[in-house]
Amino acid sequence: MPAVSIVLAGVVGGLFALGTFLVLRRDLVRVVWGVAVLTQAANVYLISMGGVREGTHDLVPVLAAHGGAVPRTADPLVQALVLTAIVIGFGTTALALVLTYRAYEENDTMNVQEWQ
Amino acid sequence: MTEQFVVAPLVVALLGVVLTLVLRRRPLVQRAASLGGTVAYAAAVGLLAWRVVLAPDAPGAAAYQLGGWPAPFGITLVADALSAFMLVIAAAVGLAAVAASIRVVDRANQRVFYHPLFHGLLVGVTGSFLTGDLFNLFVWFEVMLLVSYVFVAFYGGPEHTAAAFRYLVLNVFGSAVFLLAVGGLYATVGTLNMADMVRRLSDPVAYGIDPAPVGGLTALLIGTFALKAGLVPFQFWVPGAYRAAPLPVAAMLAGVTKKVGMYAIVRLFFTVFGNAEAGVDLPWIPGASPLALLAPLLLAMGIASILVGGFGAVGGDTVDELLAYSSIGQVGFIAIPVAVAAATTSASLRRFGILAALVYALHHALAKTLLFLSAATIQGATGTNRLADLGGLAGRSPPLAGAFLVGSLSLIGVPPLTGFFGKLFVFEASIRRVVTTPGAGGMAGLAVLFLGALLTIAYTTRAWLGGFWGQAPPAVERARIDPAQVAVLVALSAVVVGVGLGFDPVYRFADAAATAAVDGSAYVETVDPAGGDPV
């Protein structure tokens, strides 16, 4: 197993831990941050599912493809999936921010526990 | 030619979104287009069901490869009997809900993108039922959810914002877990096409895959789908969200989008992972298939849902709160036969369990829509939904009372209404399980089904006594009950009675759907994911 995979596993775990921690906060803005971090954690996981290999010269198309044969590339499917997931996550986070502002207007507080 | 019918409902629903959006400055035309769009949607679904499943010369299932990309590379839409059955439920509920919305939701609110959003909900639901691609299922789920968030926040009061925010955060978490499962399954099985997954999992050695992680990954899926279906312990968003959303939309959420969660469980666990040899290695889980893990979990969640939903509904103060809790309990009634089907090794009982769940899902969608729309009419006429402030509605409007009574009796399971067959099959599946394989789990499930049935009688009686009998308070005396709304309710109760009376074709349709659900090889044959094989 390449060292990158272990680092990625650590990063995904750390992001999920951070996201979960933030979602459980009382401050609404932190909850939105948590939502954003969680979706990104899932994205990092998804991209790492395409398989990670050491970046050699012939793995990077732009370095090797000029003039030569097209080299093997990383799995493009997971990248397409992640793009879709990023867009969805972006939309959801934007909506969450709007709802946060709305909740602030209504309750004059960012603290979830002080909601009526 | 049959393939085009598969994609038709999706296109019609999308056109509905576009059309109602374009016509937003002409409210009258927009409302007409919205209703016309739903009628066209129902027609497209009817044609699909007839040409693909019900007609004498129908192929039974058909696949549409989007963009002409062969499976497993492109996204495949698959309509088999199971998808068609669920689409028919969606079309029936959608049509009734839009027809009622036009009168129930006030004009100013309807102009605030109500109709485009409603058709967006239909798009998400249709896509979820039709797609044959795991990641695409995630996308349709998100389409459905994004629209539901807006609907829950629709009225813009503090409680609506709070409900929408909770609903959103929970579902983002659920979606992240879903993505983990999708990514993991892709890395393990090497495909996202569901039919290709069936093929690869049935012969892992030939395809050079190690299916061991599939067991754990499917456990993630159980969690996500249970959250969408609102099963206990993931039920806490349900009452808030259903009470915050406009009532016709609440009917749609309870009648259709909840069923999407149950549909996804049936589709993935029975059709796709049904024959996979990849269980979780736990001492109390016998067998080595994802179904072995699903069975006890779903049984426990079903039992807990019936109890929480039933007792919550008995204690509800308003009609909509009562109905929201009731729908938690009723999903439990759908979960238990699915759990029976997952637990059993007998092919006939497995099919029958799914059949029971499907008939119950149809019944619940119709009856709950009828009741939610009745609640909307009551709310519109009297300005309140609190049982304590209501009473005597039976004298004020016998047709409204009759519609509510039909919905309640169907929920209880009185013959010859649709609910009778739902309850009958759910109990039969559960009893057959207990008889063939006696065990504590099966007995507990059966006992809770009985208790749940009693609780259903208790809370529907409570709603009836509180709302319809007794002295009419001033709010009810002054009430002006809209005849157009009552007409929709009467039509819907006629459907509830009619489906019960003419149950034979419905039974055959549900039977075909259950057969399709457990037959992975037919699914593979329909999709034909051989595009990736070396020639």
Domain borders along chain B are 2-520
Instruction: Name every chain B residue with its beta carbon within 8 A of the beta carbon of A84.
Output: 135, 139
Q: Which sign, positive or negative, has the C-alpha torsion B170, B171, B173, B174?
A: positive
Q: How would you write chain A as a 3-class SS string?
A: CCHHHHHHHHHHHHHHHHHHHHHCCCEHHHHHHHHHHHHHHHHHHHHHCCCCCCCCHHHCHHHHCCCCCCCCCCCHHHHHHHHHHHHHHHHHHHHHHHHHHHHHHHHCCCEHHHCC
The mean per-residue pLDDT over the stretch B165-180 comes to 94
Enter the DSSP assignment of B289: S
How far A6 CA lies from chain B's nearest CA (Å)?
Answer: 16
Instruction: Please tell me which residue of chain B has the smallest CA distance to A13.
Output: B180
Domain borders along chain A are 3-53+73-114
Q: What whole-number distance in Å separates Cα of residue B483 and Cα of residue B477? A: 16
How far A62 CA lies from chain B's nearest CA (Å)?
Answer: 26
Q: Which of B172, B180, B188, B217 to mutate to test the interface with A (most CBs of A within 10 A)?
A: B172
Give burial (CB, 10 Å; 0-12/13-18/19+) of A45: buried
**Entry pTM:** 0.94
Yes or no, beta carbons of B184 and A99 under 8 Å apart: no
Average pLDDT, chain A: 84
Per-residue confidence at A95, pLDDT binned at 50, 70, 90? very high
The mean per-residue pLDDT over the stretch B457-466 comes to 93
Per-residue confidence at A56, pLDDT binned at 50, 70, 90? low
Q: Is the pLDDT of residue B530 over 70?
A: yes
Nearest neighbour of A116 by CB, restricted to B135, B149, B158:
B158
B343 in Cβ contact with B334 (< 8 Å)? no
pLDDT digits (tens, 9 = 90+) for B256-292: 999 999 999 999 999 999 878 776 667 667 667 888 8
Give phi and psi for B392, each to the nearest 5: 65, 15
Q: Is the pLDDT of residue B103 over 80?
A: yes
B228 in Cβ contact with B260 (< 8 Å)? yes
The mean per-residue pLDDT over the stretch B216-232 comes to 93
Instruction: Kindly give, in sequence order, each residue whose CB lies less than 8 Å from that of residue B478, ignoring residues fewer than 6 positions away.
Output: B382
Residue B97's pLDDT is: 96
Q: Which of B167, B169, B189 to mutate to test the interface with A (most CBs of A within 10 A)?
A: B169
Give phi and psi for A64, each to the nearest 5: -105, -20
Residue B183's pLDDT is: 93
Per-residue confidence at A38, pLDDT binned at 50, 70, 90? very high
Instruction: Kindly give, in sequence order, each residue whose CB lies less than 8 Å from that of residue B165, ignoring residues fewer than 6 positions away.
Output: A28, A96, A99, A100, A103
pLDDT digits (tens, 9 = 90+) for B72-89: 888 999 999 999 999 999
Domain A3-53+73-114's class? mainly alpha
Q: Is the pLDDT of residue B182 over 70?
A: yes
Q: Is the pLDDT of residue B1 over 60?
A: yes
As for the ipTM of the complex, it is: 0.90
Residues in A 53-72 with any Cβ partner in B closer than 8 A: none
B445 in Cβ contact with B430 (< 8 Å)? yes
Per-residue confidence at B307, pLDDT binned at 50, 70, 90? very high
Residues in A 8-37 with any Cβ partner in B closer than 8 A: 19, 23, 28, 31, 34-35
For residues B207 and A61, the model is more confident at B207
Segments in B344-439 forming alpha helices (H): 347-382, 393-396, 398-412, 418-436
Q: Is the pLDDT of residue A28 over 60?
A: yes
Cross-strand bridge partners of residue A111:
A27
Q: Is the pLDDT of residue B513 over 80?
A: yes
Q: Is the pLDDT of residue A32 over 60?
A: yes
Per-residue confidence at A111, pLDDT binned at 50, 70, 90? confident
B40 in Cβ contact with B108 (< 8 Å)? no
How far A21 CA lies from chain B's nearest CA (Å)?
Answer: 12
pLDDT digits (tens, 9 = 90+) for B366-401: 999 999 999 999 999 988 889 888 988 888 899 999
**Structure tokens, B16:** 């509905």
Q: Is the pLDDT of residue A60 over 60?
A: yes
Q: Which long-range contacts (CB under 8 A, 24 or more apart) does B480-484 make?
A: B480/B381, B481/B377, B481/B381, B481/B396, B481/B397, B481/B400, B482/B103, B482/B377, B482/B380, B482/B381, B484/B103
Distances (CA, A) of B529 to B82, B199, B451: 20, 9, 46
Query: Looking at the complex, does the CB of residue A106 fall below 8 Å from at least one CB of chain B?
Result: yes
Q: Is the pLDDT of residue A1 over 60?
A: no
Average pLDDT, chain B: 92
The mean per-residue pLDDT over the stretch B307-314 comes to 95
Residue B291: other Cβ atoms inside 10 A: 24
Q: Which of B144, B149, B165, B180 to mutate to test the interface with A (most CBs of A within 10 A)?
A: B165
Nearest neighbour of B146 by CB, restricted to A35, A45, A91:
A91
Residue A53's pLDDT is: 67
Residue B274's pLDDT is: 85
Yes or no, beta carbons of B162 and A115 under 8 Å apart: yes
Residue B535's pLDDT is: 53
The mean per-residue pLDDT over the stretch B435-461 comes to 93
The mean per-residue pLDDT over the stretch B185-198 comes to 92
Q: What whole-number distance in Å separates Cα of residue B242 and Cα of residue B232? A: 16
Distances (CA, A) of B499 to A59, B359, B363, B415, B419: 62, 11, 9, 11, 10
Residue A54's pLDDT is: 62
Residue B349's pLDDT is: 94
Nearest neighbour of A39 by CB, restricted to B139, B156, B176:
B176
For residues B91 and B416, the model is more confident at B91
Yes or no, beta carbons of B172 and A38 under 8 Å apart: yes
What does the radius of gyration of chain A's CA atoms come to, in whole angstroms?
20
Closest CA to B376 of B251, B494, B209: B251
Q: In whole angstroms, what separates CA B135 from the centre of its chain?
A: 20
Share of chain B above pLDDT 90, in %: 75
**Structure tokens, B433:** 């399980």
* 3-class secondary structure, B450: helix
What does the radius of gyration of chain B's CA atoms come to, in whole angstroms?
22
Residue B277's pLDDT is: 77
Per-residue confidence at A11, pLDDT binned at 50, 70, 90? very high
Share of chain A above pLDDT 70, in %: 78
Q: Is the pLDDT of residue A61 over 80?
A: no
pLDDT digits (tens, 9 = 90+) for B21-41: 999 999 999 999 999 999 999
B73 in Cβ contact with B67 (< 8 Å)? no
**Structure tokens, B523:** 């699914």
Q: Is the pLDDT of residue A55 over 70?
A: no
The mean per-residue pLDDT over the stretch B221-233 comes to 93
The mean per-residue pLDDT over the stretch B311-331 comes to 93
Give the orientation angle of helix B81-104 with respect to helix B114-130, to 10 degrees.
170
